[in-house]
Amino acid sequence: MGTAKHTSLTIAAAQIAPVWLDRERTLAKVARWIGRAADRGAGLVAFGEALVPGYPWWLEHTNAARFNSPMQKTLHAHYLAEAVDIDASHLDAVCAVAKKRKIAVVLGTIERPRGRGGHSVYCSLVYIDPKGSIASVHRKLMPTYEERLSWAPGDGHGLVTHALGAFTVGALNCWENWMPLARTALYAQGEDLHVASWPGNDYNTRDVTRFAAREGRSYVLAASALMRRSDIPDSVPHAAAIRRAVPAVMGNGGSCLAGPDGEWIVPPVVGKQTLVVRTIEHRRVFEERQSFDATGHYGRPDVTQLTVDRRRQSMVKLKD
């Protein structure tokens, strides 16, 4: 009988602040940090939710629900203008770096897709493989609370996993990591390395990272961004008003890594731009699944099943 080949993978979370609401300068920064992760031997690097061009922190602090607010309309228009249009090749330079350095990238973006008319934005996680190809774009299923004033709800098209060495990688945005059925959709596709992408703050990552690792018997890498009042550039509309309204620190990071036993490998790191880099061993997944595998030997598909619609949703089907 043959024996399973157990291999390792070096992974990284790049905990950085964006050049807020500036797509080109943030993408240039992302490219530099991909290079830094590759220099550390990483085969995968993950970034925070909505990092490019940035999380809409103004919504919570500037009365964003006020109807027909000129300030909110100006900010929203600026946000859309700086969003990522994949069809316009906005991510080509990042893909080129991934290809050159042979590293997979999980990148949080605000996507403005032409396939939905080009005037709404989605919180999208982009998976770029080590060959530099965009392998999937996962649009957040349900924006949370005030995010719904800015982002449109996504679909199941991006609920996929990707082979990377011995591992199978999946990823979710922010509070999607609390959604049991979204997690289950990835478990059932063989996920054993889960990337949880967050806009920042260890109060988000401290509990769910270990819980998801324990439930999935997978490694869970939480990648968070930073955001401070000092990160608001003058180029942002109403920058002075936003600075007056927001706290000194909106996102303190909280990137971390838990093992398949649910224990910390790296507890949440706060307050600094840094790379969280560790080498993980696939054998640990096999060890922990001896007693529990949620969609494998411990699952009961004869009793409960999950149906996932992975069609990309559209308002129009054109027949010419």
- Catalytic site residues? 49, 140, 174
Task: Quote the distance between the C-alpha of residue 10 and its chain's center.
Answer: 18
- Which one-letter amino acid corresponds to residue 133? S
DSSP 52: B
DSSP 192: -
Q: What is the Cα–Cα distance from 193 to 261, expressed in whole angstroms? A: 13
The CA R_g of the chain, rounded to the nearest whole Å, is 19
Buried b (16+ CB within 10 A) or exposed e, 187-222: bbeebbbbbbbbbbbbebbbebbbebbbbbbbbbbb
Buried b (16+ CB within 10 A) or exposed e, 101-133: bebbbbbbbbbbbeebeeeebbbbbbbbbbebe
Task: Quote the distance between the C-alpha of residue 140 and its chain's center.
Answer: 9
